[in-house]
C-alpha cells in the first residue's frame, strides 16, 4: 500500500457497506492495519449486521442503525482489549458485515434417483427438483461455523452443502410419506413443509434458517413415463374397434382430398381402394348378426302347455302335451284319469278336457271278450 493510501486511511472514520451484488452474504471492511479511530461512525443498514472480531475472537454485534464507536457501545471489545482506563485510539479490529436478507431462487435437485415402493407401480425410481430460500439467522454462529476468515463469502460457497442436506432430508420425507406416485403432484406443498422442518433444524446449526422450500417437480424414469403415456392414450381412445373405423375413414377422406399427394395417380387409387376394402370389411363385420332393415323376424315360439297327472293318488308332472299324449297311447293315462293345468279351476277327468281330446281320439276301444 502506498504512503498516500496510509495517510488517507487514517482520516477515514466512516464504516459502512453499500456495494452488494445480490449473492454476497459476508463482506469484511478493509482498513489499513485494521485500525479504527475513537468516535468513528458505523452505519449498519437494514438487512445487515456488523460483527467486530478481535484477534480471531468474535466480539460485539451491531444491528441496523448509526453508531459512534466508543467504549460504552463496545463492551465485549473493551473487555478483550483491557480498556480499563479509557478508550485507546486507534484500535485494531476486523469488521464483518453480514447480510440478513433472504437469498431466494436457490436451486436443489436429486443427483441420483430415490428408490421407493409404490402401491401402483411397485419398486420405482424418482427424481425431484425445486427451489429454496434462506437467510442468516445468527451472524456470530454463521461466521464461526461457516465463514471463518473469508473476506467475501457468497451463496455459491455454501449452496453445495445446503443442496446435499436438502436432497438427503427430502429423500427421507418422500420415501416415508407412502404417497402414491400418481398423487405426489397434489401433495407438493405438504412434502415441502414436512422436509423443510427437518432441514431447518439442521441449518440452525450453521446460523441459517430455511424460509421456504418449493417442490417444482417429481418425475419418473423416461421408460415409465412412456408406459404411462400409452396407458393414458388407451383411456382416451376407449373403444379400439370404433377408433380403428374412425382412422380408416379419416385416411379415406385424406386420399380423396389429395389423390396425387402420395405419389402417382395409380398408386393413390390403389391405396384408396385398399382402404375402402378394409373399411368395407370392418363395416361388414360390425353389421354381421344384426337384422337387415325390412327383413321379417319370426316371433318367439309360444310356450307349450304343461300338465299334472294324478297317478296312484299322487300328483305327477308337469308333463308337456307330447308326453301326456304318449301316456294316453300306452294306457297310463285314461279318460277317467284326473289332470290339471294352469288356468283350470281344479282337477278334471282327462276325457272331459278339450285340450286332451285328441289324445284319446285314436285310442282303440277295448277288445270284445272272446267266447
Domains and CATH numbers, the chain: 3-99 (no CATH), 103-224 (3.30.479.30), 306-361 (3.30.1490)
pLDDT in the model for residue 207:
93
pTM: 0.55
Interaxial angle between packed helices 265-287 and 240-257, expressed in degrees from 0 to 180 and rounded to the nearest 10? 150
Assigned C-alpha cell, 96: 464483518
Percent pLDDT > 90 in the chain is 17
pLDDT at 118 over 70: yes
**Residue with the larger pLDDT of the pair 366 and 261:** 366
> Is the pLDDT assigned to residue 9 strictly greater than 80?
no
Of 108-117, 139-148, 164-173, 183-192, which has the strongest mean pLDDT? 139-148
Mean of the per-residue pLDDT values of the chain? 77
pLDDT reported for residue 257: 73
- Give the tens place of pLDDT for each residue, 172-217: 888 777 888 878 888 888 888 888 888 888 899 999 999 999 988 8
Tens digits of per-residue pLDDT, 336-353?
Answer: 888 888 878 888 887 788
Sort strands 65-68 and 57-62 into parallel, antiparallel or unpaired.
unpaired
β strands within the chain, DSSP E: 14-15, 24-29, 35-36, 41-44, 48-54, 57-62, 65-68, 91-92, 94-99, 103-109, 114-118, 122-136, 152-154, 208-219, 306-311, 314-320, 338-340, 348-349
How do residues 263-304 score in pLDDT, each as one tens digit? 555 445 555 555 555 555 555 554 555 555 555 677 776 667
Q: CA 161: distance to chain centroid?
A: 28
pLDDT at 43: 92
pLDDT in tens, 81-97: 655 545 556 677 888 99
Amino acid at each position: 500500500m502506498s504512503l498516500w493510501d496510509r495517510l488517507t486511511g487514517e482520516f477515514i472514520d466512516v464504516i459502512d457497506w453499500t456495494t452488494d451484488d445480490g449473492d454476497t452474504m459476508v463482506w469484511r471492511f478493509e482498513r489499513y492495519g485494521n485500525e479504527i479511530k475513537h468516535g468513528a461512525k458505523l452505519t449498519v443498514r437494514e438487512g445487515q449486521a456488523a460483527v467486530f472480531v478481535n484477534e480471531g475472537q468474535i466480539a460485539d454485534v451491531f444491528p441496523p442503525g448509526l453508531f459512534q464507536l466508543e467504549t460504552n457501545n463496545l463492551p465485549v471489545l473493551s473487555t478483550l482489549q483491557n480498556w480499563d482506563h479509557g478508550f485507546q485510539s486507534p484500535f485494531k479490529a476486523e469488521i464483518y458485515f453480514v447480510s440478513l436478507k433472504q437469498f431466494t431462487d436457490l436451486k436443489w435437485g436429486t443427483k441420483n434417483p430415490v428408490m421407493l415402493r409404490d402401491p401402483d407401480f411397485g419398486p420405482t425410481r424418482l427424481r425431484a427438483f425445486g427451489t429454496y430460500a434462506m437467510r442468516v439467522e445468527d451472524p456470530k454462529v454463521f461466521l464461526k461455523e461457516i465463514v471463518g476468515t473469508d473476506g467475501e463469502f457468497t451463496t455459491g460457497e455454501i449452496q453445495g452443502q445446503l443442496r446435499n442436506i436438502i436432497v438427503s432430508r427430502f429423500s427421507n420425507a418422500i420415501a416415508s410419506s407412502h404417497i402414491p406416485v400418481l398423487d405426489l403432484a397434489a401433495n407438493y406443498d405438504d412434502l415441502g413443509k414436512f422436509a423443510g422442518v427437518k432441514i431447518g433444524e439442521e441449518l440452525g446449526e450453521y446460523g441459517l434458517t430455511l424460509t421456504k422450500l418449493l417442490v417444482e417437480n417429481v418425475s419418473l424414469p423416461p421408460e415409465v413415463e412412456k408406459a404411462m403415456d400409452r396407458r393414458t392414450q388407451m383411456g382416451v381412445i376407449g373403444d379400439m374397434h370404433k377408433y380403428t373405423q374412425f382412422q380408416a375413414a379419416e385416411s379415406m377422406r385424406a386420399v380423396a382430398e389429395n389423390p396425387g399427394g402420395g405419389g402417382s395417380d395409380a398408386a393413390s387409387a390403389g391405396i384408396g381402394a385398399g382402404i375402402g376394402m378394409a373399411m368395407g370389411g370392418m363395416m361388414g363385420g360390425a353389421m354381421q348378426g344384426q337384422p337387415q332393415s325390412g327383413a321379417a323376424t319370426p316371433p318367439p315360439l309360444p310356450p307349450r302347455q304343461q300338465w299334472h297327472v294324478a297317478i296312484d293318488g299322487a300328483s305327477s308332472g308337469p308333463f308337456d302335451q307330447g308326453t301326456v299324449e304318449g301316456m294316453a297311447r300306452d294306457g297310463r293315462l285314461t279318460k277317467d284319469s284326473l289332470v290339471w293345468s294352469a288356468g283350470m279351476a281344479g282337477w278334471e277327468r282327462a276325457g272331459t278336457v278339450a285340450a286332451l281330446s285328441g289324445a284319446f281320439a285314436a285310442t282303440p276301444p277295448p277288445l270284445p271278450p272272446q267266447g
